[in-house]
Amino acid sequence: MIFTDIRRGRPFAKDPAVIRFRERYIMYYSIPPWEDGRAGDGYAIGIAESDDLDRWKIIGEILPEGAIEAKGLCAPDAVVLEGKVNLFYQTYGNGKNDAICHAVSDDGITFRRHPENPVFRPSGDWNAGRAIDADVVVADDRLYLFWATRDPAMKIQMPGVSSAALNSGFGKTAWKQLNTDGPILRPELPWEGDCIEAPAVCRHDGRWFMWYGGSYNATPQQIGCAVSDDGIRWKRIGSEPWLRCGRPGEWNQHESGHPYVFVDTDGATHLFYQGTGDKGKTWWLTRIAVEWRDGLPLPGK
């Protein structure tokens, strides 16, 4: 699978998220602004469908709506709850003020925004109050929201986690921030640079696994992996990238990043991620299988 979206003049698809909904797969991803001077232009979310996870057909997009999305929306994640698609995404282009929003759809294409948007931003003097890169996981009758923020100087990117009851409606007061004193993981390894972002989380055999993008876009960003017993305290499964960027001349030579983990109904685990071979001029999406061995994940084909 190699996928991109050329509707806005150049190959560009980032930040993938995949669900299974009504006997088909739906992928949500970020698409760029037109940059032609039109009113209301900004980052948006593309929508594609597939019946095999390999061949994708573009079926729609979610455009900026209202003042809080005026500069754009992107980095989506989705979960199906009670037959409806719940989309979590970030505002774009507002610096410290970017935050997580929520919308709901009956068909996976047309969404109703939450009236309290944005519904989540972190607290604590260790961060800037910014929240991006939403990723949601259902566990123990709660929805766990993983996100990335920055330090008060807006230099270091790092992840956190909050949770809300499944019947809460996911408004502003529904969320409890579970890491109050600092991030759940901070960049420490040389290849991670100043950034751990795009947490992508699943549960396997009672443990939590988180893939993440280490280092900022195209510097290069590569994918790491960490494990946890409670979703709050994390330990890397190795000191090297779980998945590296490509070799010189390959389509992803400058990044394999912004992962998303999808567990299908048959239990198969897939990792979707973005790549660029021209330092971010164009962006492409792909996926690989995740193989489990002795309780730990390994890159498959």
Domains in the chain: boundaries: 79-299
Give the type of residue at 101. Answer: C
* Secondary structure (H, E, C), 96-112: HHCCEEEEEECCCCCEE
CA distance 34 to 17: 22
Cα–Cα distance between 165 and 94 in angstroms, integer? 29
Residues of the chain with pLDDT under 50: none
The pLDDT, as a whole number, for residue 218 is 97
**Distance, CA of 166 to CA of 186 (rounded, Å):** 29
pLDDT for res 301: 84
Three-class secondary structure of residue 226 per DSSP: strand
DSSP state of 43: B
> Taken in order 199, 129, 175, 18, is the CA torsion positive or negative?
negative
CB atoms within 10 A of CB 130: 23
Query: What's the confidence (pLDDT) of residue 188?
Result: 98
Task: Return the half-sphere exposure (C-beta side, CA atoms, 13 A cut-off) of residue 256.
Answer: 23
- Reported pTM: 0.97
**Reduced to 3 states, what is the DSSP secondary structure of residue 197?**
strand
Token representation of residue 92: 């774009």
Asked if 147 and 164 count as a contact pair (C-beta separation under 8 A), the reply is: no
The CATH classification of domain 79-299, taken from the options 2.115.10.20, 2.60.40.10, 3.40.50.2300, 3.10.129.10:
2.115.10.20
Angle at 284 between CA 268 and CA 13, to 5 degrees: 95
Peptide bond into 220 cis (omega under 30): yes
Q: Residue 38 has what pLDDT?
A: 87
Indicate the helix (H) or strand (E) that contains 178: none
Neighbours of 20 (CB within 10 A): 14
What SS3 state is found at 173?
A: helix
Q: By the 8 A CB rule, do 197 and 213 touch?
A: yes
Identify the bridge partners of residue 212 per DSSP, sorted by sequence position: 224
- Do 145 and 134 touch, CB atoms closer than 8 A? yes
In terms of Cβ atoms closer than 10 Å to its own Cβ (0-12, 13-18, 19+), residue 32 is: buried
| Cα→Cα distances 115→119, 161, 268, Å | 9, 23, 36
Q: Which two tokens stand for residue 192?
A: 């991670």
